[in-house]
Structure formats: structure tokens, C-alpha cells
A and B are shown apart, each in its own frame.
Chain A
Amino acid sequence: MTIKCLTLGCFVPCYHNSTAGFKSLNSSSALLGKVRDEFPHPEKKKKRRLLNNSNSRFWARMSFFPPSMPNIQTDSTIDICVYYQLSPIVNSVQSYSDSIYWYTWYVLFSRLSVISLHLVPLYFPKDQSLISHHGFHVRCRYLRNEFRCRSPATGKTPDHRSKTDYRRFRSNPIFRSGFLVSVSSNLSIKVSGGKRHRYRTQREYQHLDPEPTSSQAMEYAQSSLSLLEGSSEEVASKNMINQMKSKSTRGLDSDILKSRLDRVFSQTGYDFSLRQSISLLEERINGKNGALSPENDQDLFHQEDLVQPGPSGTINRRKLRGKVEEDMLRRHFLMLHAFQPIARKLEYLKSDLDDLNDSYDGIKARLAEEIGKSGGVRKNLREKVRQRDLLAVKKHLLTSFQDKFMLSQYDEHYLMTGDIDETYFDILQKVSTICSNCDILLGMDNDRLGTFIMAKMGSIKDMATDRMSAYLQKNLNATYHQDSMTRDSQNVLNLQKSMVYIRKNSIEKFNIIVYGLIKQRSQALVSDFNAQLKDYSNAASTRPAATFDSSKKPLYLSSYDSKRFTSDVLAYIHSTIVNELEMVESLFSFDQGDVRNQDLLDVIGVVGNKVVDSLSVPLKAALESTIRQEYKIETVVQLYDLIDLYCMMYGKLINGEKSGLVAILLQMKQYARDRLFTLIQERLKALKVTSEAEELDEGFLGLPDWLVDFYTDYLRIFDSVSATSKNSDFVDMDSEKFNSLCCLLVDEPIRILQVQAKKSALGKQGILIFEINAVDFIHSKVEVTPLLSTVKEKYTSDKLSELVTAITQYQFTQLLKNSGLFDIYNLVNMIFALEDDFFDVSVYEPITQNKLFRADTFQAANQKLQEYLATYITSDDLNKLISPSILSAVSVDPCVHFVKFYHNLTLIVAEYLKDENGQPLPVFQWDYRHVATLLGVDDSAELV
């Protein structure tokens, strides 16, 4: 059988310097170790280390489990608890009392089955080790009640504290009673229990049959328990003494004592310590102040009597022993007496506990009786409980069904009449959940219930959608008008949730709502816009611009200026777009709440674009009217640029590809472009008519006024075009369109000029001069106009060159004809062209065969030449040419050509025109130098 034993104790201060002391400690520790082997303790290793350190000062720790440790109280696996009180350190009385207290405490409150209190009062002065084999012997050396402590190592007297401790030790009645020796010599564990313990655990631990290993310890424990039971002090004391006396005869072997005493007083194996102890006892017993002072001389103690052989010695020794034990028990009794109040209190509690137990038993009995009587009731009750549980299950089922598939009356009422707020949407969410839950019902064999619920929920959703639709139509526009900061965020959130819900459940209704919003906003915008236009019209028609008060003038321009008007209109719409987009973005801003629907973000753009698009029609009307009424071509181009600029600016704010407003602007651009062509064409058409009716002054042959005005007005359209611009930079025209425009600006006027010249009464030279002047003017305009020069400069230049060549040829021909050499010139050129650089007279020998090659022909020509050249220099026909460069060219080139011809002709005539004698005939009076001088050609020598 294994018994789990728990040992408890207190500190033992021990100053070790002898082998005997170590053995003694080791022996007692072995006892503890034996116990601990069955009940391991964490202090075990430390304990062993301390014990094995035999050459040093150490503290042997004997206390393992403090009484307050809860596991001691509750651990039911512990069978035995041994309180091993070795020695109080300073105040032995207090430690001893503590031992009793803790023992009592364990008995009362712990579950330990067997508890043995083994008290071993012991004191170890710091300089004295009182150790012997198998027990503790105090070997104290003191004289006249003074304790002199001396360290075995240093030989010095210990400090004052040690002396004080020793005085306390000496005042300890236990020590003085001699109990110390008698008890410590029987160190062992007694497995026993007191009365209280037996009362509590005798049934549970009756299998325990402890065998006392130390009768004295057992007796001592029993005596202690007897004291605790609260018997009278005297009776307890007497009983304890009697027990001690009676048991002592059984527990002590006189032979052992005898042998020991013999060993003490024998010459060999003399035990000085024992003798010294006995001497101390003798002095203590026989002394006047001793604790064991005898009442008469017969009680005097002499150590010689102890060693007497025979019965007298035995009697003396037993007497001594009895005295010591009596004194110890008396002192013990006095100490236990301090615990008597506690015992009384416990006894008082015992009576209360007994009453409680009795009451408990009575109640239990009556309860059993009542239970027996109420069998039928209980059966009925069980049935009722079963029915109740069944009903609870049914109720739970119905409640669950109602929660999952039905709306409460409150919910339905709220959906029909309540405000559209968070609660409303929570109920709608519940409706949606019910609809989704109906899939289970529809999957059953009988789907009527599911169908019914689905239909009902569908009707509720339709009703809710209608309500939200009405709510949105009523409040959306009002909220739309509000400033973003004054809007109720919760209201906006509800509106957004409503829109999300309706869009999710009924796209048609959503579109209707959005359409309604757009319509309302569009109407408001159009109304404002028309009001502005009306103000403008009224202001423009009723009051002159200069009289407008600047503080009261309408939104648009106070003076009639189509460009400014258009700018104001477009700026107004620009501001309107900005305001509308800010409003719609703030309305559909999802920064608040938990509404997150990407679809509604698209709505922002749609609503913004649609609302702004409502201005498309009035804007188109306004712009179209403005452009149509504008007759200044440069203004039309400026309007075009303005519209183009705003088209870009609007595109930054709204989606240009989807915006009707931007589309209108694009249309207006096209309209302005067309208007540009229309204006030019109409002007040219008018010019054609007016030019035909215009009479040209033959004496002037200058530029017609219409031509100057035309280019003055129309070439301004290119003023805003830079030199590096491309054709496409001008009103976004492609090449074909721009060429058409250039033709209108250049070709058509030239054509009109030609028609006008042909229909005039001018001669050929006059027509040429007129055309040269006009084309030269056009060319000069084209040349300096960006974009136009790239297309038409070459054309005008060629045209001008052609005209100049024509008039030059005409002038040369006139020289030949007027000098009578026209036929001769043709004759010579027929033989070999004179224009070539090569000239050889011999080449022209065939001329002699022509009948015109006669002297009279050349003489007549000479006569005409002299008459013509005499007045040629004074003629001013060519001076009507405006361009000096052209005038110079036309004046000089024919003369130079004529001089060259005349020089060559004189050479030919000198070679082949001879008289009958073969001598040359002098038919020309002037040589070529004279002719050149008369024609105004300088450096004639270089010409030939």
C-alpha cells in the first residue's frame, strides 16, 4: 500500500561544524527524504545540496509547503501530512504555538486524511552544534545563567544578537523542561490521527492501520489533541501526565538508558556531553530558581543516584525522567491553554453545524416524503412540459417562417406610409431576402405557398418602387437646386439609395425619373437662357448701346456686336455648364454613406450632358441667327474661331463626343464656314454685275474701286493666321475647300476684270494695261497674305507675266509697223530667226531673191522710221501702267529688240542690196545708235 505523505515544518537555523551534527541532520533529513520520495518536492535538490556541503555554514530548510498553499488543502491524493516542527529559531513559544495552530488548521480545513503532529523543539545556538546519532542533544555550555557563545572557527564570542537569542532560548519552558531531550531522542513519524480526524475520516481511511514507530510521539500527539478537544486544563494535564507515565514504561527501555549512563560514567567511551547534560539537569532541578525546583529534600536530584545500580538507580532515573516529562507537559499544557478559546469557538461552531445537519436531514426526509406523494402531479407536469416544448417548437418554426418569409404588419405599414429612410430600406432589404428565400418553397412539391409569397413580395416591391419613384420625382429636383453645403446629407443618401434601388429593380422607372430630372432642369436652364436672350433683344432694339447703365445692363452685350454677343452667349453657357456639373456631382457624390454604385456615376455624366444639352436648341438658334445676319466676312471667321475655342473649352468639362451642345457648336462651325463661302460668292456675284455696268476710263486705266474694296474687306480674314500656319488652321478647311476659297478670292475677281475689260471700249493696249494693273494689285495682295500666297502666288505671277509679255510683244509689233519694217522683219525671220544669238549675214543671202528686197522698199521704211521715231519718245500710252517695274520692262524690251533687229537689218542690206555697179545702196539714214537713242535705249553698243 502506498501512502502519500506531505511533510511540513519550519526553518531550522543550523551552524554545522561537526560530523555528528551532519549525521544527525542527515538522519532527520533522510526521514524527510523518505517521505519526499513518495511525494516529490521541488526543493529536494536544494536540500540535498545543502546537506552535502558539510564544510560550510548552511541553513537546512525543512519547510516545504507553506500552510497557505491551496494544493495542500485541496489535493485529495495526499494521505498523510506530517508537521515536522524541529526548532523555533528565536521565540520557541511562538513557533510552537504556530505549530499547534497549523496543525489545527489542517485538521479542520484540509482534506488530508491522516495528520500527525510531530514536534521536535530544538535550538541550535550559532556556536554550538548539539548533534548525536539518531537524535538531537543539546549541548549548551553556560555558567550562572549566562550563555557564552563561541565560534568554533574563530573562538570568539558571538555578537549580542546571539546572546539575546540564547536568553530567549533559555526562557523557553520547553527547553528548560527537558522535553527537548526526551522527545528528540525519539525522532520518528507517527501515523495517527486525533479525535476530530477520526470523526471525519474514519470511514474513508479505516484501511489505514498505522503502526506507531514512536510511542512517545504518539502519546504526545494524543495529548495535544486532547487539549484541543477543550477538556479542562487539569484533567487534560493529568491525563496527559498519566498517559505519559504509563506509556513511558512501555516506550523506554531502561536497559538502553542504563547502558548509556554506563557509557557516560565509564572510563572508556566517556561521553562528556551527556555528562554535562546531566550536570545541567542536576543544577536545574536542585537550584532555587530552577524550573524543576524540588519541594523537599527527597526530591533533590543527584547524578550519582542515577548511576546507582539496582532498583534504586532505576527508580531515580525514572523519577528524573518523570520530573522532566511532567515539567514539559506542564509547560505544554500552558501553551495549549492559549488555544483553548479557539477550541471553544470551534466547539460552538460544532453545535451550529450539528443543528444544520439535523435540519438538513429533516428537510431531506420531508422532501422525500413530498416527492413520493407528488408522483401523479409530476407525471402530469412532465406531460405538460412535453406539450409546452412541442408548442415552443411549433412557435419557433412559425416564428422562423414568419421571419424568413413574411413581413410584419408594421413593416408593411411602413412600406406603404412611412418615410423613405434607413428603416424603409432595411424593410426593402428584408423583402428581397424573402424573395430569395422563396426558392426553397418553390422547390417543394407544393409550390403554392412559395408562389403566393413571391407574388405578394413582388407587389410590395412594386409598391415600394412606385413610392420611391414619386419620392424622387418630388424631391430630386429640389435637392438638385440646393447648394451642396446646405443639403441634408441623410436626405441625399436616401435619394441615392432610392435611385440605386430603382435602377436595380426597374430601369424603366429609373429612366423616367432621370428623364424627369433632366426635363425639369432643362426647362429651367432654357427659361433662364431665353430670358437672357430676350433681355438682350429688348436692350438691343429699344435703347442705343451708349445709353445703357452699366450696373443695369442685361447679361449680354449692350451694343450690337455679333462677336461680343456670341462670346457672351458662349460664356454664359460655359458658366451654366460649370454650375450644373457642380450641382449634379454634389448630388450624386458618393462620398457619404454606403452607396457605392458605379452605374450612378455614369448617371452623373448622363444627367450633366443631357441638362446642358437642353441649351443646344436655343444656342443653335442664337448662333445661327447671329452668323446668318453677319455680313462681315472677317466677323464670320472670328465667330468661327470663337465657336471653335468654346468647343474645346466645353470639351474639357463635358464629354464632347456625347454632348449635343458640342455637336451644335460643330454644326455652327460648319455653318460659319459655309457662311464664309456664301458671303464671298454673294459679293462676287454682286461685283460681276456692278463691274459690267462700270465704265472704264481709257485715260486712267487704274484699279477699279470694287477690286480694292473687295480685297480690303476679304483679305482680313487671314489677319489672324500666322505665316507658319497651315491650310487646316484656317477655319479647319481641307485643301480642296481652301483652294475653292482661294479661287473665289483670286480667280473670280480676275475673271470679272477680264469680262469687264472685254466689254469696255478699250483698245488692245488699254485692255492689257488695265488687266496688268489689276492683276499686279491682286498679286501684290496675294503675295503678302499667309496661306493665300502658298496657293495663288504662282498663279497671279504667271498671269501677270503673261500679260506683260503680251504687251511687250504688242509694243514691238507696233514699232515694226510704225517704222514700215514689219514685212521686212517677217522676211528676215523667215530665212533665219533673229532672236537666236547666232547671226551671220551670209545666212540671209536668199533674201535677195524676194521681190520686197528692193531699194525703194527700204527707202520708204527709212522715211517712215524717221517720222515715227521723232515722236516716239514723247508718247505716254505705257505710262498708264501702275507698276514701275512693269512699265520699265514694257518700255525698254521692245525697243531693245527693235534696235537689235535694225542693226542686223542694216548689215544685211549693206551686204546684199547693191546698185547696178555692185556698190551698196545707202537706204537707211540712221544707224542703229541713232535709233537706240531715239527709242531711249541706253548702251546700244552693248546690245549688239
Chain B
Amino acid sequence: MLTKYKIVFLGDQGVGKTSLITRFMYDTFDSHYAATIGIDFLSKTMYLDDKTIRLQLWDTAGQERFRSLIPSYIRDSNVAIVVYDITNRDSFNDVQKWLDYIREERGKDVLIILVGNKSDLKDKVVTSDEAEELSKKLGCNLFIETSSKNGYNVKKLFKKVAKMLPELKNEPTEQETNGNNVQTIDISTDKPEENASSCQC
């Protein structure tokens, strides 16, 4: 039975939410910034080892004037992916605010993924350690650093999310059973980048 899962992308303006989705969907990257107006929708079917799921990706606008729309989309989402820019301290500081939105709407009945985007940039101001520490503190289910520009960890992010999704439906989340047990992914950048064209979904 194919199940649809709703994933909402949250984060400050310009952290790369749309680029992350575009990289995942079309394996492309557009360096020209175009602010998202309102909420954009995209969907994609993923074929896992033993099942097929369909992901509905809701790309929210980071601008303040659209902030009022976001709770309505968090409400019935299965996964909330909070994105921050590793070169922008303010976007990282606002992660707490986004987590508050999520907790207010969904409580603990949602998978929360913390994503540090733009790992390809050198002027990194948010270290992986402090981001990982924050993810543990906030009870995120997964923390990962990605780069929409070169595709680093993008597919891994969605694969991880997809593999965590079916558990959501039948079993209590790991967080619920073990508390703040955050699953982390090795984000060291000295590893070879995954091939952007090796999409298996």
C-alpha cells in the first residue's frame, strides 16, 4: 500500500529550502535566488527496499510576512525539516523558534530533522558540534549537514527520512521511547561527495 507522507520545510529566508528540494527532485541547482512566495508543493515517489512511499514536499517561504501560513501546514505533516544556513548564525539561532512552531502544532508526533545547509561554503560560522548539540537538546530525530549546490548528503537525507517514516505509523518514535536519542550522521566533509547523478529513487 503506497502511503503519502507530508514533509514541510521550515527555516529562515535564504537558507536554501527550495534549493534542497530542487536538488532532490531534479538534481539541479540554481544559483540565482528567488524568494518563495507562500507555499510551494512538490511530490516524489521513493522506492525503498521493501516498500514504496510518496513524499509530498511543502516548501514554505522564509519571509516574515508568510509566517502565518506555516502552522497550517505543520499541523498535518509527518516530517518537519528545519533548515539553517551554516554561514548564517541568525538562521541557526532561529532554529529554536521553528522548533517551537512545530511543537506547538504537532507536539512530539512528528519527525523533526535539523539540516545545516550550504556545507560547500567555507565561511562556516555554525560548527557541526554545536548544531549536533542543539539537535540533541531540541529532540530532533536526525541532524545532517548538506549542500544543495553539490548535492552532498541530499539524497542521504531523504533516504534517511524515508526509512524513518514507516516507523512513524506503526511504532512509537525512537525519541518517544528513549527520550532524546538523536540519530546522527557523519557529516565530515573530507569524505568524497556522493555522486549527484546516482539517484536511486
Nearest-neighbor residue (CB-CB) of A582 within chain B: B43
- Kindly state whether residue B194 has any CB partner on chain A within 8 Å: no
Residue of B2, B37, B45, B68 touching A564 (CB-CB under 8 A) = B68
CB of A645 within 8 A of CB of B38, answer yes
In contact, A486 and B66 (Cβ under 8 angstroms): no
Q: Is A578 in contact with B41, judged by CB distance below 8 angstroms?
A: yes
CB neighbors of A among B13-52 (8 A)? 37-41, 43, 45, 52
Q: Are B1 and A483 in contact (CB under 8 A)?
A: yes
Residue B167 CB within 8 A of the other chain: no
Q: Is the CB of B68 within 8 A of A486?
A: no
Question: Are B65 and A578 touching (Cβ within 8 A)?
Answer: no
Known: A564-B68, A578-B43, A642-B68. A648 touches B107 (CB 8 A): no
The reply to whether the CB of B75 lies closer than 8 angstroms to some CB of chain A is yes
**Contacting residues, chain B, for A638 (C-beta < 8 A):** 68
A512 within 8 A of B: no
The answer on a CB contact under 8 Å between B104 and A550 is: yes
User: A574 within 8 Å of B by Cβ?
Assistant: yes
Q: Which residue of B lies closest to A638 (CB)?
A: B68
Given A568-B72, A646-B38, A486 contacting B105 (CB threshold 8 A): no
A391 within 8 A of B: no
A567 touching B66 by the CB < 8 A rule? Answer: no
From residue A619, how far is it (CB to closest CB) to chain B in Å?
A: 14
**A484 close to B2 (CB less than 8 A):** yes
> Known contacts A483-B2, A575-B76, A642-B68: does B38 contact A551 (CB below 8 Å)?
no
CA distance A575 to B57 in the complex (A): 11
Alpha-carbon distance between A638 and B66 when the two chains are bound, in angstroms: 11
**B109 CB, min distance to chain A CBs, angstroms:** 6
Query: Number of contact residues on A: which range applies?
Result: 20 to 34
Are A550 and B106 in contact (CB-based, < 8 A)?
Answer: yes
A398: interface (CB < 8 Å):
no
Q: Given that A483-B1, A484-B2, A578-B56 are contacting pairs, would A550 and B105 also be in contact in the complex, using a CB cutoff of 8 Å?
A: yes
For A720, the closest partner residue in chain B by CB is: B65
A575 cross-chain contacts in B, Cβ below 8 A: 6, 76
Residues of chain B within 8 A (CB-CB) of A486 are 1-2
The distance from the CB of B184 to the nearest CB of chain A, in whole angstroms, is: 27
* A601 close to chain B: CB less than 8 A: no
Contact residues of A: prevailing secondary structure: helix
A552–B76 alpha-carbon span in the complex (Å): 12
Q: How far is the CA of A102 from the CA of B38 in the complex (A)?
A: 102
Main secondary structure of the interface of B (DSSP, over half): mixed
Q: Which of B75, B104, B109 contacts A568 (CB 8 A)?
A: B75
Residues A567 and B38 in contact, CB atoms below 8 Å apart: no
* Contact B65–A567 (Cβ < 8 Å): no
Chain B interface size range = 20 to 34
- How many A-B contacts at CB < 8 Å in the complex? 63
Asked if B172 CB lies within 8 Å of chain A CBs, one says no
Measured between beta carbons, the chain B residues less than 8 angstroms from A873 are none
Is A779 among interface residues, defined by CB-CB distance under 8 A?
Answer: no
Contact with A along B89-108 (1 / 0, CB 8 A): 00000000000000011110
Give per-residue flags for A563-591: 1 if the beta carbon is below 8 A from chain B beta carbons, else 0.
11001101110110011001000000000
Asked whether any CB of chain B lies closer than 8 Å to the CB of A381, the reply is no
- How near does chain B come to A565, taking the closest CB pair, in angstroms? 10
Task: Give bound CA distance, A570 to B75, whole Å.
Answer: 13
Most A CB within 10 A of own CB, among B66, B68, B72, B105: B72
Query: In the docked arrangement, what's the CA distance between A571 and B1, Å?
Result: 26
- With both beta carbons as reference points, the residue of chain B lying nearest to A554 in the complex is identified as B75
Given contacts A483-B2, A568-B72, A578-B56, contact A649 B39 (CB under 8 A): yes
Complex contact A653–B71 (CB within 8 A) = no
Does B71 lie within 8 Å of A574, measured CB to CB? no
Tell me which residues across on chain B come within 8 A of A568, comparing CB atoms: 72, 75
B52 adjacent to A485 (CB under 8 Å)? yes
Minimum distance in angstroms from B16 CB to a CB of chain A = 21
> Within 8 Å of chain B (Cβ to Cβ): is A463?
no
- A555 interface residue, CB < 8 Å from B? yes
| Cα-based distance from A579 to B54 in the complex (angstroms) | 11
Q: Which of B63-83 contact A (CB under 8 A)?
A: 65-66, 68-69, 71-73, 75-76
How far in angstroms is the closest Cβ of chain A from B112? 15
Nearest-Cβ distance from residue A486 to partner chain B, whole angstroms: 6
Q: Which residue of B has the minimal Cβ distance to A653?
A: B41
Task: Name the 4 nearest CB pairs between A and B, nearest first.
Answer: A571-B72, A485-B2, A483-B2, A550-B107
In the complex, 30 of the A-B residue pairs with CB atoms within 8 angstroms, ordered by the A residue number, are A483-B3, A484-B54, A485-B2, A485-B45, A485-B52, A486-B2, A550-B105, A550-B107, A563-B68, A564-B72, A567-B72, A568-B72, A570-B72, A571-B39, A571-B69, A571-B72, A571-B73, A572-B72, A578-B41, A578-B56, A642-B68, A642-B69, A645-B38, A645-B66, A645-B69, A648-B37, A648-B38, A649-B39, A652-B40, A720-B65
9 further interface pairs, Cβ-Cβ under 8 Å (given A550-B105, A567-B68, A567-B71): A483-B3, A483-B4, A564-B71, A567-B72, A571-B69, A571-B73, A574-B39, A582-B43, A646-B38
